[in-house]
Amino acid sequence: MSNLKITDIKSFFCGNYPFIKVYTNEGITGIGENFVHHKGILSGQLEYLRNMLIGEDPFGIEHLWVKLYSHIRLAYSMAMISGVDMALWDIKAKKLGVPVYELLGGLFRSKIRVYPHLRGTWNSFPDAKADNMFSEPWGAVKYSPEQLGEHARELVREGYTAIKFDPFEPGVDGYHGYRPSEIEAAVERVAAIRKAVGDDVDLLVECHGKFNAGMAIKIGKKLEPYNLMWLEEPVPGGLIQSMKRVADHVNIPIALGERFFSKWELKEYLEQGIVDVMMFDVGKIGGLTEAMKVCAMCEAYQVKVAPHNPFGPVTAIASVHLAAAVSSFLILEHEELAPWAVTPQIRIVDGYIELPSTPGFGVDLNEEEIAKHQAKIEDGTYKIPFRDTQILYPTL
Instruction: Indicate if 321 belongs to the active site.
Output: no
Alpha helix segments (H runs only) across the chain: 39-53, 61-71, 75-96, 100-103, 145-157, 180-197, 213-223, 240-249, 267-271, 282-285, 287-300, 313-325, 367-378, 388-392
What are the backbone dihedrals phi and psi of residue 39, each rounded to the nearest 5 degrees, phi first?
-60, -40
What are the backbone dihedrals phi and psi of residue 12, each rounded to the nearest 5 degrees, phi first?
-130, 90
- Which of 37, 117, 176, 208 is catalytic? The answer is 208
- Nearest in space to 62 (alpha carbons), one of 1, 131, 118, 128: 1
Omega before residue 344 within 30° of 0, cis: yes
Any bridge partners for residue 332, and if so which?
114
What are the backbone dihedrals phi and psi of residue 29, each rounded to the nearest 5 degrees, phi first?
-120, 160
Instruction: Indicate if 308 belongs to the active site.
Output: yes
- Which of 38, 71, 151, 308 is catalytic? The answer is 308
Q: Exposure pattern of 349-362 as b/e (b: 16+ CB <10 Å)?
A: eebbbebbeebbbb
Catalytic residues: 208, 308
